[in-house]
Amino acid sequence: MTLPFGRPLVLLLLAVPAVLLWRVWRRDQGRLVLPFDFSGARRGRPLAFAVNLAESLPALLLAVVIAILASPQQAGAPKNRRALTNIEFCVDISGSMGSSFGSGTRYDAAMEAINKFVDYRRGDAFGLTFFGNNVMHWVPLTSDVSAIKCAPPFMSPQKAPPWFGGTEIGKALVACRRVLREREEGDRMIVLVSDGMSADLYGDRAQEIGQQLKESNIVVHAVHIAETTIPGDIVNLVAITGGEVFEVDDPQTLINVFARIDKMQQTELVQLAPETFDHFGPYCIAGLSLLGLMSTALFGLRYTPW
């Protein structure tokens, strides 16, 4: 069992006050031969006991000082923290994401929903990846979401470089998988936001990528922002990872979809080991009390050998 002291070896010095106490209580009361020895006078045992108590105070004070030097510790109450979920947003910025959607564009609605999502998932790690025909990891996985909130004006479809014009979902998911695999702690999830189909998922490619994601313990949820039906390749890929697909046709539904994803990925709490703190209070009170009693005893209660 661990002793409640940070430096328990210092407690070995308690042998010194123990020896001092032994000497106080076992010493031979000094006698001085006087003519009136054997006079029948009482030895005053109550007074001797009081004197011995007073003489014990310095040794007890020394014991308290040694205990303080041993750094007494106190265990705090166990705390809980939420289990970390690593969430990578994979957002399509191809030209079609600039189409009208509500009061803005599909891209605007997607980023607005993502920003609301990160607000009520505080404590998780978020990353942001934009893709078209190429992939750009805009924000690395972090619990500081300020960069995600500032991203919308910079990578809209109207401002994206020309080589982001197409849609290659397979390439984007593989790139996000590499990012998430570097995270050893916590669950892993990709939220794919797109409005089209992807030629690089044709054939067995969707199943192959889905299996790779599953082996990496990555769940993919796909949000399809368009009036068209979500492509079957994406449905199959998502199903392999254990995620769900969502078809969205208005901004409010998009926000509701992210709220549903939040409920599906419930926050778990992890109990942390209790922290230890310095616990000097009782020892300081005891030391000050002994010092006060010792000072008072010096006014009359002290041993003299004559």
Strand bridging mode 245-248 / 218-225: parallel
Rounded to 5°, angle at Cα 193 from 187 and 199: 110
For 53, other C-beta atoms within 10 Å of its C-beta total 15
First to last CA, the chain: 49
The alpha carbon of residue 24 and the mean position of all alpha carbons in its chain are separated, in whole angstroms, by 53
- The pLDDT of 64-69, averaged and rounded, is 92
Q: Which tokens hold the place of 66?
A: 């040694």
81-270 belongs to which homologous superfamily? von Willebrand factor, type A domain (3.40.50.410)
Give the ranges where the chain is alpha helix by DSSP (H): 15-26, 45-69, 106-119, 146-150, 169-181, 205-215, 232-241, 251-264, 281-297
DSSP per-residue codes, 268-302: -EEEPPPPEEE--HHHHHHHHHHHHHHHHHTTT--
pLDDT band at 25 (very low <50, low <70, confident <90, very high): confident
- Max CA-CA distance within the chain? 123
pLDDT band at 3 (very low <50, low <70, confident <90, very high): low
Encode pLDDT of 248-270 as tens digits: 888 888 888 888 777 765 555 44
Q: Which tokens hold the place of 173?
A: 């998911």
| Residue 286 pLDDT greater than 60, yes or no | yes
| Residue 104 pLDDT greater than 70, yes or no | yes
Nearest to 259 by CA among 248, 273, 271, 270: 248
* CA 203 – CA 29 distance, rounded (Å): 104
Encode pLDDT of 179-197 as tens digits: 999 887 778 899 999 988 8
**In this structure, what are the phi and psi dihedrals at residue 189, rounded to the nearest 5 degrees?**
-150, 140
| Residue 47 pLDDT greater than 80, yes or no | no
Residues with Cβ < 8 Å from 188, sequence gap 6 or more? 85, 86, 88, 180, 181, 216, 217, 218, 219
Residues with Cβ < 8 Å from 288, sequence gap 6 or more? none
